């Protein structure tokens, strides 16, 4: 089991019953990132913020600094432009990640012209390639736009992870890995989702940028 998952269930014993699913999700994400593929996220309301939080932790350093390697710094230096080396030393290595909700022109246009419930599915369909991983977040497990995005992911050859609660919603039938926080109230589910996805981000980061 990934060491970050072990640490998580030590700090949050309530999550011991789903440690296996969290570990499986970590393995999927690590494989995805090591192969240079993308991690896609989506959610609604508070879960939309969680989806954005996940991508934020991946796109820059999280618990590691992730400095650019010396050979990359040299590429900046070779430009012989003012501030190039300073910029290179400021930048951090990122893990490719996209929050499907952060495309308001697409979401509003597709929602108005076609089907608002399928906007996430459309965004995923346009970006996703086999080897990518989609993280859908639905506390109740019944969000229609997440269900449709999960269907699109399957058709695109993209593995999926569902972050949900213990309500056994319909989305559970569509995801490769279901991480069901053992709570039924939305705010309590969200309180457990945060340390879960922090753990997933730490596991991926260490796999790519171990020091």
Residue 210 is predicted with a pLDDT of 79
Domains and CATH numbers, the chain: 3-64+94-208 (3.40.50.10490)
The tally of CA atoms less than 13 A away on the side-chain side of residue 113 is: 7
Distance CA 185, CA 153 (A): 28
pTM score, whole prediction: 0.95
Helix (H, G, I), strand (E, B) or coil at 69: coil
161-177, pLDDT tens digit by residue? 999 999 989 999 999 99
95-111, pLDDT tens digit by residue? 999 999 999 999 999 99
Helix (H, G, I), strand (E, B) or coil at 38: coil
11-25, pLDDT tens digit by residue? 999 999 999 999 999
Contacting residues for 88 by C-beta, under 8 A, at least 6 apart: 68, 72, 73, 75, 76, 77
CA-wise closest residue to 201 among 11, 33, 68? 33
């Amino acid at each position: 089991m990934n060491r970050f998952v072990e640490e998580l269930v030590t700090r949050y014993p309530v999550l011991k019953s789903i440690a296996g699913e969290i570990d499986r999700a970590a393995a999927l994400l690590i494989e995805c990132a090591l192969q240079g593929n993308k991690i896609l996220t989506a959610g609604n309301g508070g879960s939309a913020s969680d989806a954005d939080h996940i991508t934020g932790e991946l796109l820059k350093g999280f618990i590691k600094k992730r400095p650019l390697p010396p050979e990359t710094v040299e590429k900046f230096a070779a430009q012989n432009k003012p501030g190039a080396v300073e910029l290179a030393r400021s930048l951090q290595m990122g893990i490719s990640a996209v929050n499907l909700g952060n495309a308001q022109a697409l979401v509003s246009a597709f929602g108005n012209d076609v089907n608002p419930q399928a906007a996430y599915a459309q965004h995923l369909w346009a970006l996703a390639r086999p080897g990518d991983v989609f993280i859908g977040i639905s506390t109740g497990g019944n969000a229609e736009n997440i269900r449709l995005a999960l269907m699109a992911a399957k058709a695109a050859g993209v593995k999926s992870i569902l972050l949900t609660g213990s309500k056994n919603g319909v989305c559970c039938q569509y995801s490769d890995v279901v991480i069901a926080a053992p709570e039924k109230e939305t705010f309590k589910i969200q309180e457990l989702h945060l340390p879960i996805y922090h753990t997933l981000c730490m596991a991926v980061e260490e796999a790519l940028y171990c020091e």
